[in-house]
C-alpha cells in the first residue's frame, strides 16, 4: 500500500502544472514537437460559406484545446449583462488571452464551437462581426459549430465559445 501511495504521489507531482510552463512528455521522455501543417478545405459537393471552413486537417505542431470562454473578467465578474455584443467581445478577448498563454493566436485556430443562450438567427451576424475583428482577414476561417441552448452555466451568460488551435 505504501509503494502504491508513493507511486501515485510521484505520478501526480509529474503531472502538476506550473503556471507559465509547458512540457511535452510521452512515456517519461521529452517529445520533439514538429511544425504544424494545416489544410483548410471546402470540398466539392458541400456549400462554401464565407463564415467558416467545412474541413480543417492538421498534422504536427502542438494542439491546444481552450475551454469554453464566457464573458467574465479576471475577477470573475460578468461583463455586459443582457448585452450579447458586449459579451461576445469579452469572450473573444478571453480567447485571445487563453491562446497567447499557449503560444498561439487566432491564425492558429482550426475549430470554434459556439453555444448561444436563446439563439435567434439574427444573432449570427453580430457574432460574426465581432469574430472577424480577431481573425486575420487574409487567412481562412476555422471549422465552426453554432448551437443554440436554453441555458449556460450562469443565468446571465449569453455566449460561450471554445476552440482548438494547432501551433508550430
CATH number at residue 61: 3.30.1330.40
Average pLDDT over residues 131-139: 96
Confidence of residue 77 (pLDDT cuts 50, 70, 90): very high
Residue 25: pLDDT over 80: no
Residue 26 domain-assigned (yes or no) = no
Sequence-distant (6+) residues with CB within 8 A of 158 are 71, 82, 83, 84, 87, 116, 117, 118, 152
Query: Is 19 a member of any domain?
Result: no
Q: How far apart are CA 55 and CA 110, in angstroms?
A: 9
Evaluate whether residue 18 is within a structural domain: no
C-alpha cell at 53: 471552413
Query: What's the rounded mean pLDDT across residues 34-41?
Result: 89
Question: Is the pLDDT confidence value at 13 over 80?
Answer: no
Residue 10 lies in a domain: no
pLDDT of residue 26: 53
Supply the range of the domain harboring residue 77. 33-167
Number of domains in the chain: 1
* pTM, full prediction: 0.77
Q: Is the pLDDT of residue 118 over 50?
A: yes
Report pLDDT for 168.
86
How many Å apart are CA 115 and CA 117, to the nearest integer?
Answer: 7
In a domain? residue 17: no
Q: Domain for residue 143, yes or no?
A: yes
Amino acid at each position: 500500500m505504501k509503494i502504491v501511495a508513493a507511486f501515485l504521489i510521484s505520478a501526480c507531482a509529474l503531472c502538476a502544472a506550473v503556471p507559465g510552463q509547458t512540457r511535452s512528455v510521452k512515456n517519461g521522455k521529452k517529445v520533439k514537437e514538429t511544425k504544424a501543417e494545416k489544410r483548410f478545405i471546402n470540398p466539392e459537393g458541400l456549400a462554401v460559406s464565407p463564415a467558416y471552413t467545412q474541413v480543417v486537417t492538421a498534422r504536427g505542431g502542438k494542439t491546444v484545446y481552450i475551454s469554453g470562454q464566457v464573458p467574465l473578467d479576471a475577477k470573475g465578474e460578468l461583463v455586459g449583462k443582457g448585452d450579447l455584443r458586449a459579451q461576445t467581445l469579452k469572450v473573444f478577448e478571453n480567447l485571445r488571452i487563453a491562446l497567447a498563454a499557449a503560444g498561439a493566436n487566432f491564425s492558429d485556430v482550426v475549430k470554434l464551437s459556439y453555444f448561444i443562450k436563446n439563439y435567434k438567427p439574427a444573432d449570427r451576424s453580430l457574432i460574426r462581426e465581432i469574430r472577424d475583428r480577431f481573425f486575420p482577414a487574409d487567412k481562412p476561417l476555422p471549422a465552426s459549430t453554432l448551437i443554440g441552448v436554453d441555458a449556460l452555466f450562469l443565468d446571465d451568460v449569453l455566449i460561450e465559445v471554445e476552440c482548438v488551435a494547432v501551433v508550430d
